[in-house]
Chains A and B, each alone.
Chain A
Amino acid sequence: MDITDNKENMTEAPVLLSVRGLVKSFDGKTVLDGIDLDVRQGEVVVIVGPSGCGKSTLLRCINALEPIQGGEVLLDGQKIEKDGKNLTAIRQKIGMVFQSYDLFPHLTVLDNITLAPQKVQKRPRREAEEEAISLLKRVGLEGKAGSYPRELSGGQKQRVAIVRALILHPEVMLFDEVTAALDPEMVREVLDVILQLARQGRTMLIVTHEMQFARAIADRVIFLDEGHVLEDLPPERFFTEPGTERAKNFLHMFEFEAVR
C-alpha cells in the first residue's frame, strides 16, 4: 500500500479543481462560509469533520447539485454553475458516488453502467458494454452484469455505483460517505476499490468517517467544522499533532481508553 511514494512531487502537479470563497446557505443558515480548496492532479484529499459540518454539502456544491450563494468552483479553469450551459459536459468530468448507492432499480447492473455512456457521451453500446465488463472485472463483479440491483448486497451495489461513475472517464471522483450505509463486513471491499483507484493516481475527494482509511489513502486531510476549513494537513501530521483544539476533540472521539 505504498501510495505516497510516487507523489513526492505533488506540489508540482497542476491544480485540477479549485474552490474559491464558496458560501452555501439553506434558508438563511450558512452551512459553508468561505471555503477555499485546491486539489491537484492525482491528489487524494480526504475531508473529515463532525456530522453537520457541511462536508457532504461541499461535495454536492462542487458537482453543482446544490446552488451556491457565493464564491466559485473551477474544474480545469472552467466554472461549474448550477444552471450553466456546459454543465453536462463538465459533469462528465466529475464522478460522484453517494452514500445510498442509488443504482436504478429497473435496470440491470450492465444497463445501469452503460446508460450514461450511451445517452450522454453517445458512445456505441458494444464499446460501452465491453468497458463496463472490464471495469466490473476489476472490482470483482464480472458475474453480476445481468443481475438487478435488488439481487446485490450493499457492498456490491456500491462497487457497481463506483464503476458507473468511472466509465465516464472522470477527471475527479467525489465519494460521499460511501461506506456509511454498509454493514461492517462490506466496508472493506468498497474501500479496497477506492485504494486501488488511488494507486492508479486518480484525483479524488473523499468524505468519510473511516479514520484509518483516511490515514492510509489521503495525501491531505481537510478538517471542516461549522462551515470553515480548520485544518489542511498531510495525514501523518493531522492524526498525530492537529493544530486546533477542535480537531483534537474530534479525533479523540475515535479513541477508547481502557476501562481497566
Chain B
Amino acid sequence: MPDLGLNVLLKGKNMQRLLSGLWTAMRISLIAVAISMPLGILLGVLMTKKNPVVRAVLRVYLEFIRIMPQMVLLFLVFFGTTGAFGWNLSGELSSIIVFSLWGTAEMSDLVRGALISIPKHQYESSEALGLSRSQTFAYVIIPQTVRRLIPLSINLITRMIKTTSLVLMIGVVEVLKVAQQIIEANRMASPNAAFGIYLTVFLLYFIVCWPISMLARRLEKKWKD
C-alpha cells in the first residue's frame, strides 16, 4: 500500500484544525442560506408580479450574479470595496455577503419557476369553489409550490456549501486552506501527504453534503405528482 501520508492527520492538532476549517465553511454557508432563503422567496414572488420595473430590476440582478464567476464576486466585494469605498470587510463577512447575494438570486429564480409552474386552472378552480385569494394561496398554491421547491432548494444548499471552497482565495481559513497549510508544513517529513489530506477533505465534504442530497431525493420521490 502506498504511503498516503494519513499519519500526518494524527500529528498534533491537525484533524481538529481540519474540522474547525470545515466549521468555518459551514458557518459561512449556513448564514448565507439563512439569509438567502427568505430573501429569495420574497424576490421570487415579486418576479411573478406584473410590475415591469420591478421585474426588470430583478432580472438584471439575477443575470448579473449568474454571469459573474463567484470568485470575481468575492474579489469585487473583498478587495474592490476597500479601494472604492475604503471599507475594510473581513474575508468571512465578504464571503457571507457574496454567498447571500448569489443564494438569493438563485433561490428567487427557483421560487419564480415553481410559482409559474402551477397551472392557471388551479387558481380558477379554487376561485370557482369560492375560496378567497388568500385561502387559494394558503391551501392550494403554496403547498404545491413548496413541494416543488424543497428538493430544488436543498440542491442549492449543497452547491453553496461546496462553493465555499473558493473563499480561501480571499484569505478565509476554511477546510481547504487548512489542508494546504498542513501539507505545506509537512512537506519535508511526509512529501506524500497531499493525497491523504485532500482525500480527507473530500470525505468531509461528502459527509456533510451526501445526507442533504439524499433528503432532497427522498422528498422528491415522496411528493411526485
CA distance A120 to B225 in the complex (A): 26
Taking Cβ atoms with an 8 Å cutoff, the residues of B that contact A are 119, 121-122, 124-132, 135, 139-140, 143-144, 147, 223, 225
In the complex, the chain B residue whose C-beta lies closest to that of A89 is B130
Of B121, B127, B147, B223, the contact of A91 (CB 8 Å cutoff): B127
Say if the beta carbon of A223 comes within 8 Å of chain B. Answer: no
Of B128, B139, B223, the contact of A115 (CB 8 Å cutoff): B139
Say if the beta carbon of A65 comes within 8 Å of chain B. Answer: yes
- Tally of chain A residues near chain B (CB < 8 A): 26
Contact, CB under 8 Å: B131 / A102 = no
Which chain A positions have C-beta within 8 A of B130? 88-89, 91-92, 116, 120-121, 168
Contact, CB under 8 Å: B122 / A168 = no
- In the complex, the number of residue pairs spanning A and B with C-beta atoms less than 8 Å apart equals 62
In the complex, the chain A residue whose C-beta lies closest to that of B129 is A116
Contact, CB under 8 Å: A105 / B139 = no
Which chain B positions have C-beta within 8 A of A98? 121, 124-125, 128
Contact, CB under 8 Å: A120 / B131 = yes
Known: A100-B121, A105-B225. A91 touches B144 (CB 8 A): no
Say if the beta carbon of A150 comes within 8 Å of chain B. Answer: yes
In the complex, the chain B residue whose C-beta lies closest to that of A88 is B130
Which chain A positions have C-beta within 8 A of B125? 96, 98, 102-104, 161
Contact, CB under 8 Å: A106 / B143 = yes
Which chain A positions have C-beta within 8 A of B147? 106
Contact pattern, A 60-97, Cβ under 8 Å of B = 1, otherwise 0: 00010100000000000000000000001101101110
